[in-house]
């Protein structure tokens, strides 16, 4: 059956746009007023009946509409025919949230965007949080398609794009929508794929490298000769921070949850790997002291971090998996003149991400070219196995990155 693409949604806060008037009218007629955002494809139209598949409901509704709307549907056929893609979408049930590969309208780039045919997409813990409804995407980002980093081939450029052309191989940082066949993104958030890397390896880079560069080297101001402690050393962020900190001359400490993970981190360049299940990092690192901490654990780790900090030390948070409201001794912070900070990347403005990409291209990409930094992909899954990838992520058994490939 031929498909005719048309996005429609109930949006009380938006004005009636010419291309959406039909569907806004249907919203009113058919009682979608309090429903979740409706998105779908016109399956067919015959006489005065229109069959519409609601993508985020996984069912088909048949609406009887007036002949005036039928004529509008007919006029849309030549414009929207065949413009659909596959995307991994969040399907929320009463007791669980699943991922399914379903039809979805393909995106169109704005003047400053490129459209990428996705070959691989990195899996991140933030994707799991989004699936569970705990980490909603920023405005104008698909609500039900996870994915913060991709690698692929530029297939279309907006008329204002100057850095890229069709056929270029790029990896890109996204705010969402990466578990799909295609995505659009501002040209400044793309980086060229190093010649020696596969699409899977390239897709494992953007989220971790952007996060580490922003938090360790900008916010944490790590310098040559300083000591850094990286919690979660075997995670995607951890393996990235180890290699970059070592490449720029720091002494690297990490915490991990097994002997196997400790061994992997040392092989990547860590000087000391502490197995937190059997060792106390506070006791082990107190004498040497730490200048910068990159922490994704939170909770009780904060006071323990404070106790091992050198004067003028910087503690940087990028997550708080063990809690957001720990108790600390403020006097210790004052005596050591510590800075406790943190950041999120997803919702940051485009100008920030563009500048970050520029610095990464200048400072980090040469390290990849000369072999001082190497991606570590733990396991790949096909896009229709995305739920299995999330289950592996939640198990924390992996060392390095998990990637979806096609």
* Domain end residue (candidates: 342, 357, 390): 342
Is 313 contained in some domain? Answer: yes
Nearest partner of 42 among 5, 84, 68, 77, judged by Cα: 5
Burial (CB count within 10 angstroms: exposed 0-12, middle 13-18, buried 19+), residue 183: buried
Is 87 contained in some domain? Answer: no
282 and 165 housed in the same domain: no
Angle at Cα 340 formed by Cα 339 and Cα 343, nearest 5°? 120
Is 91 contained in some domain? Answer: no
Q: Could you give the CA distance from residue 267 to residue 400 in angstroms, rounded to a whole number?
A: 13
**Residues facing 101 on adjacent strands:** 88
Q: Are 179 and 214 in contact (CB under 8 A)?
A: no
334 and 264 housed in the same domain: yes
Q: Could you give the CA distance from residue 88 to residue 83 in angstroms, rounded to a whole number?
A: 17
Is 391 contained in some domain? Answer: yes
Chain centroid offset of residue 103 CA: 21
Is 275 contained in some domain? Answer: yes
Q: Could you give the CA distance from residue 402 to residue 124 in angstroms, rounded to a whole number?
A: 8
Model confidence pLDDT, tens digit, residues 194-214: 999 999 999 999 999 999 999
Q: Could you give the CA distance from residue 195 to residue 368 in angstroms, rounded to a whole number?
A: 10
pLDDT tens track of the chain, all 406 residues?
A: 333 333 333 332 333 333 332 333 343 333 333 333 334 444 444 444 455 444 444 444 444 444 444 444 444 444 444 489 999 999 988 777 899 999 999 999 999 999 999 999 999 999 999 999 999 999 989 999 999 999 999 999 999 999 999 999 999 999 999 999 999 999 999 999 999 999 999 999 999 999 999 999 999 999 999 999 999 999 999 999 999 999 999 999 999 999 999 999 999 999 999 999 999 999 999 999 999 999 999 999 999 999 999 999 999 999 998 989 999 999 999 999 999 999 999 999 999 999 999 999 999 999 999 999 999 999 999 999 999 999 999 999 999 999 999 9
* Phi-psi label, residue 78: left if phi above 0, alpha if psi -120 to 50, beta otherwise: alpha
DSSP state of 383: G
Residue 114, H or E segment: strand 113-123
Token duo for residue 329 = 């001794």
219 and 331 housed in the same domain: yes
* Domain end residue (candidates: 295, 312, 342): 342
Q: Could you give the CA distance from residue 11 to residue 8 in angstroms, rounded to a whole number?
A: 9
| pLDDT of res. 83 | 80
Q: Supply the CATH number for residue 157's domain.
A: 3.90.180.10
Q: Could you give the CA distance from residue 186 to residue 390 in angstroms, rounded to a whole number?
A: 27
Chain centroid offset of residue 126 CA: 7
Is 92 contained in some domain? Answer: no
* Structural domains in the chain (count): 3
Residue 239, H or E segment: helix 236-247
Which structural domain range is residue 55 located in?
4-82
Alpha helix (H) ranges present in 41-184?
A: 67-80, 125-131
Q: Supply the CATH number for residue 286's domain.
A: 3.40.50.720
215 and 334 housed in the same domain: yes
53 CB contacts (<8 Å, ≥6 apart)? 40, 41, 43, 59, 60, 61, 103
Is 175 contained in some domain? Answer: yes
213 and 201 housed in the same domain: no
Is 90 contained in some domain? Answer: no
pTM across the whole model: 0.81
| pLDDT of res. 81 | 45
175 and 138 housed in the same domain: yes
322 and 377 housed in the same domain: no
| pLDDT of res. 92 | 85
Q: Could you give the CA distance from residue 236 to residue 400 in angstroms, rounded to a whole number?
A: 5
Model confidence pLDDT, tens digit, residues 165-194: 999 999 999 999 999 999 999 999 999 999
DSSP state of 213: I
Residue in the structure block whose two tokens are 């390896």: 201
| pLDDT of res. 27 | 38
CA-atom Rg of the chain in angstroms: 24
Query: Helix, strand, or coil here: 216?
Result: helix
């Amino acid at each position: 059956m031929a498909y005719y693409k048309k996005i429609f949604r109930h949006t009380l806060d938006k004005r009636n746009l010419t291309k959406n008037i039909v569907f806004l009218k249907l919203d009113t007629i058919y009682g979608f007023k309090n429903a979740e955002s409706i998105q779908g494809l016109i399956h067919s139209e015959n006489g005065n009946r229109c069959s519409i598949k609601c993508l985020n409901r996984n069912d088909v509704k048949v609406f009887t509409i007036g002949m005036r709307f039928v004529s509008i549907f007919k006029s849309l056929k030549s414009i929207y025919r065949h413009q659909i893609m596959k995307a991994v979408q969040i399907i929320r049930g009463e007791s669980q949230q699943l991922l399914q590969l379903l039809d979805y309208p393909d995106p169109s780039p704005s003047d400053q965007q490129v459209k990428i045919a996705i070959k691989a997409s990195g899996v991140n813990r933030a994707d799991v949080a989004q699936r569970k409804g705990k980490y909603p995407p920023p405005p104008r980002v698909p609500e039900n398609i996870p994915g913060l980093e991709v690698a692929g081939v530029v297939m279309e450029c907006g008329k204002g794009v100057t850095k890229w052309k069709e056929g270029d191989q790029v990896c890109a940082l996204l705010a969402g929508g990466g578990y799909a066949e295609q995505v659009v993104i501002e040209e400044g958030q793309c980086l060229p794929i190093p010649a020696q890397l596969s699409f899977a390896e390239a897709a494992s880079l953007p989220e971790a490298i952007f996060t580490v560069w922003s938090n360790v080297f900008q916010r944490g101001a790590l310098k040559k000769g300083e000591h850094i402690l990286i919690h979660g050393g075997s995670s995607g962020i951890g393996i990235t921070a180890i290699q970059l900190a070592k490449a720029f001359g720091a002494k690297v400490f990490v915490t991990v949850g097994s002997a196997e993970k400790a061994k992997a981190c040392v092989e990547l360049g860590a000087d000391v790997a502490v197995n937190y299940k059997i060792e106390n990092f506070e006791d082990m690192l107190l004498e040497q002291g730490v200048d910068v901490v990159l922490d994704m654990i939170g909770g009780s780790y904060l006071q323990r971090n404070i106790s091992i900090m050198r004067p003028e030390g910087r503690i940087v948070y990028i997550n708080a998996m063990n809690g957001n409201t720990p108790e600390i001794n403020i006097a210790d912070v004052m005596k050591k003149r510590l800075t406790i900070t943190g950041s999120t990347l997803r919702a940051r403005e485009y100008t920030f991400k563009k500048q970050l990409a520029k610095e990464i291209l200048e400072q980090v990409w040469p390290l990849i070219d000369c072999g001082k930094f190497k991606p570590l992909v733990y396991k790949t899954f096909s896009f229709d196995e995305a739920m299995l990838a999330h289950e592996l992520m939640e198990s924390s058994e992996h060392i390095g990155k998990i990637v979806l490939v096609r």
